[in-house]
Amino acid sequence: MRARLKRRHRRERGFQFAGLAAILTAMAGLLVLLVSILVGGLPAFSTTDLDLELHLTSEHLGVQEDMDRATRSAAIARGDYGAIVRDALRERFPEVSSRREVRALSRLVSAGARGELRALMTEDPSLIDQRITLRVPADDEVDRYLDGQIRRDVPESQRRLSDAQLGWIDALREEGRLHQSFNLRFLRSGDSREPELAGIWGAAVGSFLTLIVTLLIAFPLGVSAAVYLEEFAPRNRWTSLIEVNINNLAAVPSIVFGLLGLAVFLNVFHLPRSAPLVGGMTLALMTLPTIIITSRVSIQAVPPSIREAARGLGASPLQVVLHHALPLALPGILTATIIGMARALGETAPLLMIGMVAFIVDIPGSVTDPSTVLPVQIFLWADSPERAFVEKTSGAIIILLGFLIAMNATAIWLRAKFEKKW
């Protein structure tokens, strides 16, 4: 007996050790994942700008004195701002003469500098034929070099910046023309082909509009279905069939709902493709089973004595549900809804099927405008060949994880604050 008892205790200690080892392994893997995302994504929140002394000549802008106001504005919009930027760089580095060197020097400045200069001239045409100092975004490779991601000891053939370009960058840095700062452009602009100009604001607005549509559809339908099935539906084979199918739908892969949205919302109803309206309706179908199941569990948790007391005081069945059962079950219902919305926020596959994988630059203004969402934006950047988009991908993942953590923390807070112990 003592020998058997020792063996049993030894097996129990082994089982406990295995469980602890599994937990520690999972935590270590999660820690490695989070650290790698943070290390890879933090550079996305910094940017490098360059101070340029620009001569805004009327020749480059195509402006003449005898032009009327409308023609003058059109000429300013069509101006050769790239030549203005190139002339400013060549004025700083007069030793650069060949066409190849001029192109290499011009690549140190982002293509967005032309857009910023055009916007400035459109706003203030009085700057024509004047010299100004303008802070413009530098190329993403310049930012990566200043962050230490491009090293000088690597052979020139194996890096994106040549030795001459590194020398020009060092000269500009010694003069104080290069400035590194927090990348507000990443948080308040839309997508772009240029990594240094790309931002997540368009995808964040698209995610918000999509979740609003999802919530407005899934929450009332899900709660109403749960109340009916739990409180009013007769117990027969049809009700059992509905319940079984709802449980099965909760386990269906999300891409199936994307195919359903493609077949019904786009091909039958001809709703706008790549719009938050269609995305929200598709995610609402995916979220409905989860909300129905968890809402039924919350309603079941309300003690029968409360219903019986309400009926004893003369309340109708609808009053029992609306005035007593549903308010007491509402904290659990809200918690489940937030968790379901958090799952919908992180979904990608169903939205890819309805066309929300398109390259969208403009910020959506309504639920029918073309848009994308954060998970799809991450997918697009991860598939981009530009090395700087890797940092943008990790930075967008950090933002998405922040939203998910906030939503789950809100659900935990609601459960702890309003949970009833019967």
Residue-range domain boundaries for the chain? 48-182, 201-418
pLDDT at position 216 over 90: yes
pLDDT of residue 395: 92
Average pLDDT over residues 395-410: 89
pLDDT of residue 49: 92
* Strand partners for 181: 47
Is 229 within 8 Å of 220 (Cβ atoms)? no
pLDDT at position 421 over 70: no
Instruction: Please provide the distance, in angstroms rounded to a whole number, between the alpha carbons at the two ends of the chain.
Output: 44
Confidence bin at 288 (pLDDT 50/70/90): very high
pLDDT of residue 24: 94
Average pLDDT over residues 266-274: 89
pLDDT at position 156 over 90: no
Determine phi and psi for 364, rounding to 5 degrees: -65, 140
pLDDT at position 422 over 80: no
pLDDT at position 28 over 90: yes
CATH fold of the domain at 201-418: MetI-like fold (1.10.3720)
pTM of structure? 0.86
Average pLDDT over residues 253-261: 90
Please provide the average confidence, as pLDDT, over all residues in the chain. 88
> Of all residues in the chain, what percent carry a pLDDT higher than 70?
99
Amino acid at 1: M
Distance CA 419, CA 422 (A): 10
Is 368 within 8 Å of 342 (Cβ atoms)? no
Average pLDDT over residues 15-44: 91
pLDDT of residue 169: 92
- Residue 53 parent element (H or E): strand 46-55
pLDDT of residue 420: 64
pLDDT of residue 5: 84
> Per-residue pLDDT tens for 202-213?
999 999 999 999
> Per-residue pLDDT tens for 101-153?
889 999 899 988 888 888 888 888 888 888 888 899 999 899 888 888 888 88
pLDDT at position 263 over 80: yes
Write the Ramachandran bin of 366: left for phi over 0, alpha for psi from -120 to 50, otherwise beta. beta
Two structure tokens written together for 336: 């489940």
Alpha carbon separation from 75 to 70, 88, 127 (Å, rounded): 9, 21, 14
CA-based nearest residue to 41, from 187, 166, 192: 187
Q: Within the chain, how many helices (H) and strands (E) appear?
A: 19, 3
Q: Which residue has the tokens 């040549």?
A: 162
Average pLDDT over residues 88-111: 89
3-state helix, strand and coil shares in percent for the chain, rounded to the nearest 5: 70, 5, 25
pLDDT at position 258 over 70: yes
Distance CA 279, CA 261 (A): 8
For residue 60, how many C-alpha atoms fall within 13 Å in the half-sphere facing its CB? 21
pLDDT at position 286 over 70: yes
Amino acid at 408: N
> Of all residues in the chain, what percent carry a pLDDT higher than 90?
28
